[in-house]
């Protein structure tokens, strides 16, 4: 059966081939450029397949492969020249840069020879497991890395979902009323729609926008596990993103610091908002998902591997945490996923049409519930 995947998923195979071919993993600076002379020597890559554990051991001119049956313990070993990995990495890169195909038969044939039957490592949340020689201390370590690729569209750091809505109560002055349907119809064609609606509520209706909760209880708990202030802090960032028409995480955080809605002692504690935002970005990069309970246990124990637009592969090891955090902070932005609002009936979700994808986010309009008014904003973070 043909292997199929998007560019991000095939990028994981590209990294596997690239690293076994090149034999080193370059360290990146805060601008994603390789730091001269700083790299980790690749000794081995370990992959978990459905029925086996495969070890790809880099030797002088060959990669020696050991495939061990997980049930019986039986094993086989064979080798391929390193140049084969170099050539297949180049071929896959060219296809990923020039086509939208989800399968790549030439590469699949080589993967079959390597006893690889799935695009993703099936045994871990991490994307790749590598045994490296650490240039800091000349030690050998086996570490897990997550992989982000810029070969396709902008890579997403935090994916949106039905539960990643932040819910705000819209509090109107006493005696002030609003026709919800009329408001949503009147503002539907204004651009940007969410910003226009929020500004209209504040300026035209003198409403106060008060954060209530995160729609997903799991995401809410995950955020509070990282930092107890994060739900409220991110809610304020999302408002700034739309009210100030800013998208970058760094600029929104700068404005948040100036406004200081959580009343932190910024005079003595400096960039406290920035610190908390960086912790959120770090945990997103290292495995936190909105609907999976998160206890801060990193499966990607090595750090982050980045595939640049030109195919160069660099990393942020856990040693380079400050570089990594600064890179995340300065390279990310808020995005606005599809609201799935019905253009023929603003303020309501579109009907699902057979053969068309309907994103179940359902946010960005005013609605009434039990005599109170609410507005949802969805959270999505991408690399710039």
Q: pLDDT tens digits for 85-109?
A: 999 999 999 999 999 899 999 999 9
pLDDT mean over 355-372: 90
Which pLDDT value is given to residue 49? Answer: 93
CA distance 118 to 82: 21
CA distance 101 to 137: 43
More confident: 8 or 312: 312
Whether the per-residue pLDDT at 1 is higher than 70: the answer is no
Contact 21, 86 (CB under 8 A): yes
Whether the per-residue pLDDT at 193 is higher than 90: the answer is yes
Whether the per-residue pLDDT at 357 is higher than 80: the answer is no
Domain residue ranges of the chain, discontinuous segments joined by +: 7-153, 158-294+334-383
Q: What are phi and psi of 240, to 5 degrees?
A: -60, -40
Whether the per-residue pLDDT at 352 is higher than 90: the answer is no
Q: Give the model confidence (pLDDT) of 23-35 as tens digits.
A: 999 999 999 999 9
Which pLDDT value is given to residue 118? Answer: 92
SS3 168: strand
pTM, two decimal places: 0.84
């Amino acid at each position: 059966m043909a292997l199929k995947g998007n560019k991000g998923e095939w990028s994981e195979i590209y990294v596997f081939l690239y690293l076994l071919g090149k034999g080193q993993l370059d360290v990146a600076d805060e601008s994603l450029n390789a730091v001269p002379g700083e790299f980790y020597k690749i000794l081995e890559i370990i992959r978990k397949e459905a029925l086996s554990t495969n070890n790809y051991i880099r030797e002088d001119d060959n990669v020696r492969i050991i495939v061990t049956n997980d049930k019986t313990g039986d094993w086989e070993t064979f080798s391929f020249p390193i140049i084969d990995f170099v050539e297949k990495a180049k071929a896959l890169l060219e296809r990923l840069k020039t086509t939208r195909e989800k399968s790549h038969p030439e590469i699949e044939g080589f993967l079959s020879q390597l006893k690889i039957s799935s695009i993703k490592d099936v045994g871990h949340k991490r994307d790749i497991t590598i045994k490296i020689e650490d240039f800091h201390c000349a030690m050998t370590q086996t570490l897990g890395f997550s992989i982000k690729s810029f070969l396709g569209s902008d890579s997403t750091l935090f994916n949106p979902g039905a539960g990643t809505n932040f819910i705000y109560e819209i509090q109107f002055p006493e005696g002030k009323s609003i026709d919800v349907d009329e408001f949503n119809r009147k503002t539907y064609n204004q651009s940007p729609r969410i910003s226009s609606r929020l500004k209209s509520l504040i300026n035209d209706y003198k409403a106060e926008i008060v954060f209530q909760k995160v729609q997903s209880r799991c995401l809410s708990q995950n955020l509070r596990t990282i930092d107890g202030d994060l739900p409220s802090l991110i809610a304020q960032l999302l408002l700034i993103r739309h009210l100030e028409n800013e998208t970058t995480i760094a600029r929104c955080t700068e404005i948040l610091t100036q406004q200081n809605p959580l009343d932190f002692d910024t005079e003595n504690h400096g960039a406290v908002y920035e610190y908390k935002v960086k912790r959120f970005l770090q945990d997103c990069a290292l495995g936190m998902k909105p609907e999976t309970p998160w206890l801060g246990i990193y499966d990607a124990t090595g750090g982050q591997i980045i595939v640049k637009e030109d195919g160069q592969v660099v990393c942020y090891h856990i040693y380079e945490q400050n570089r990594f955090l600064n890179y995340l902070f300065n390279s990310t932005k808020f995005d606005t996923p599809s609201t799935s609002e019905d253009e023929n009936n603003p303020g309501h979700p579109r009907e699902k049409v057979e053969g068309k994808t309907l994103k179940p986010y359902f946010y960005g309009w005013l609605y009434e519930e039990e005599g109170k008014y609410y507005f949802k904003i969805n959270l999505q973070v991408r690399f710039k």
